Amino acid sequence: MKKLWGGRFTKSAEEWVDEFGASIEFDQELVNEDLEGSIAHVTMLSANGIISEEDAEKIKDGLMQLQEKAAKDELSYSVKLEDIHLNLESALTDIVGPVGGKLHTARSRNDQVATDMHLYLKKQVAVIAQLIKEMQEALVEQAEANVETVMPGYTHLQRAQPISFAHHLMAYFWMLERDKERFEESMKRINLSPLGAGALAGTTFPIDRYQTAGFLGFDGIYENSLDAVSDRDFILEFLSSSSILMMHLSRLSEEFILWSSQEFQFIELDDSFATGSSIMPQKKNPDMAELIRGKTGRVYGNLMGLLTVLKGLPLAYNKDMQEDKEGMFDTVKTVIGSLKIFAGMIKSMKVKKQQMEKATKNDFSNATELADYLSGKGVPFREAHEIVGKLVLTCVQKGCFLGDLPLEEYKDVNPLFEDDIYTVLDPYTAVERRNSAGGTGFAQVKLAIEKAKTLLKEE
Ligand code: ARG
């Protein structure tokens, strides 16, 4: 097969060399964006008198036929034609004849591929933002059902203070809110058109870059042609927003895995998101949560991979940059899959309220309440801390908990203790009373849920 750029060559590469250099295996993912970009380009060419209207119509008609074929999955690609751009140009010429060769006037694959990827990410980022929102809705739904579900809150994975389970879930709501913001803000930089930058230096033809940008729904154009074809920071930004999002999902995965263990038994994941063991009949494994935790690694890897590819590249385009695509596609697929799984897992999981509550009873996570109690009565907090610390030690030595000590024993230590300490020690009361802004008090949690719902509605 003759190369579309074959004029200058006297001999062709061996097949395996061609295969090594080709990107069609993965960049066929950009078929729709490439055709969309070509239609905008050819429309602009004729609108500005660069090619005749008649030729433009023929080309456009051919491109639209290719769009139909793509929709029906009827296009076939050849590795000999290297990439999606040359495959489509060749398919176009097969349909419309030599006039198809006019499509590439005033254009290079360098601005073409950059345009394709901007169009692609624009669509995918919108999908991802919507899926983040759906996961947030699932969190809010579970939170609403669990405002007064009391569980141990942890620091250092040691029981620290009792909290509302809804408060814990809502923590992730706000992380996701920032994640969504990051993606949406990056849209400002994705939504710029590189088209018309040519290979690197612009073109001698009287093109109108603003026109193609408008046709393609871009907000503006890259100001510098070299920058337009060699910049991939919009992909890096996408990969880093994705890495941060996946880090959040990975932390929630870890919590789901812990919570569904026999040791915690705080939740039970629905059968549809768990798997069994081929040998141990009793097993129900939180595979999906584990997999998302694991897939976080590949997204970080994709970010590091592209940063490394780009490091030290001189301007403008270099073939190294063909390596920008697989990590981007892989990340899109991973992020979309993970968000969908999570929304389903959250909605369908069973919350074991009694287990959670039980866990707050037989421990010392109410010790702060007692220290606050004393300091509320004028004892300096440091002193109160020391007193309660001693009481905890007494309990540990006796093998009991703070609520089990008789009032006399409290009074011996400090006469300020009254019998209302037993209410204060109750985990439910402990949560209820943490009514500072953003705290776990039920009233605060309800407020936060309302705020969250308003936010989701406004979007
Ligand atoms: N397949 C190439 C890529 O993805 C398209 C751009 C090729 N440009 C070039 N001058 N070889 O980077």
Q: Tokens 């062709």 map to which residue?
A: 12
- C-alpha distances in Å from residue 258, one per residue of 94, 151, 156, 267, 292: 59, 14, 14, 9, 14
Whole-number Å distance, alpha carbon 452 to ligand 1 midpoint, is: 45
Whole-number Å distance, alpha carbon 84 to ligand 1 midpoint, is: 10
In our burial notation (b when 16+ CB lie closer than 10 A, e otherwise), range 212-240 reads bbbbbebeebbeebebbbbbbebbbbbbb
What value does the mean pLDDT take over residues 87-103?
98
Whole-number Å distance, alpha carbon 29 to ligand 1 midpoint, is: 15
Say yes or no: CB of residue 109 within 6 Å of ligand 1: yes
Are 284 and 276 a contacting pair, CB within 8 Å? Answer: yes
Full set of structural domains in the chain with CATH: 13-105 (1.10.275.10), 110-204+218-353 (1.20.200.10), 362-452 (1.10.40.30)
Question: Who contacts 272 (Cβ-Cβ below 8 Å, separation ≥6)?
Answer: 344, 348
What is the pLDDT at residue 337? 98
Cα 164 to Cα 428: distance, rounded to the nearest angstrom: 9
Best mutation site among 107, 310, 313, 322 for ligand 1 pocket (most ligand atoms within 8 Å of CB): 322
Best mutation site among 9, 18, 28, 110 for ligand 1 pocket (most ligand atoms within 8 Å of CB): 110
Are 128 and 183 a contacting pair, CB within 8 Å? Answer: yes
CB atoms within 10 A of CB 293: 20
State how beta strands 158-164 and 192-193 pair.
unpaired
Q: Say what percent of the chain tops pLDDT 70.
A: 100
Ligand 1: which residue has its CA nearest to atom 4? 322
Whole-number Å distance, alpha carbon 319 to ligand 1 midpoint, is: 6
Q: What residues pair up with 267 in beta bridges, in sequence order?
A: 351
Q: Helix/strand/coil (H, E, C) string of 174-196?
A: HHHHHHHHHHHHHHHHHCEECCC
pLDDT reading at 388 higher than 90: yes
Say yes or no: CB of residue 113 within 6 Å of ligand 1: yes
Instruction: Sort 328 into a burial class: Cβ within 10 Å, 0-12 / 13-18 / 19+.
Output: buried
pTM value? 0.94
Cα 150 to Cα 431: distance, rounded to the nearest angstrom: 7
pLDDT reading at 14 higher than 90: no
Of 41-55, 123-137, 392-406, which range is least confident?
392-406
Relative to the CA of 325, which ligand 1 atom is closest? 4
User: Quick check: is 278 catalytic?
Assistant: no
Query: Tokens in use for 421?
Result: 């300490």
What is the pLDDT at residue 276? 77
Say yes or no: CB of residue 112 within 6 Å of ligand 1: no
In tens, the pLDDT along 143-153 reads: 999 999 999 99
What value does the mean pLDDT take over residues 429-458?
97
Cα 196 to Cα 111: distance, rounded to the nearest angstrom: 7
Say yes or no: CB of residue 316 within 6 Å of ligand 1: no
What value does the mean pLDDT take over residues 83-112?
98
Ligand 1: which residue has its CA nearest to atom 2? 322
Cα 5 to Cα 423: distance, rounded to the nearest angstrom: 83
User: Quick check: is 156 catalytic?
Assistant: yes
Q: Say which of 46, 272, 277, 436 is annotated catalytic.
A: 277
Say yes or no: CB of residue 230 within 6 Å of ligand 1: no
CA pseudo-torsion sign 337, 341, 342, 347 = positive
Query: Tokens in use for 384?
Result: 């109160």
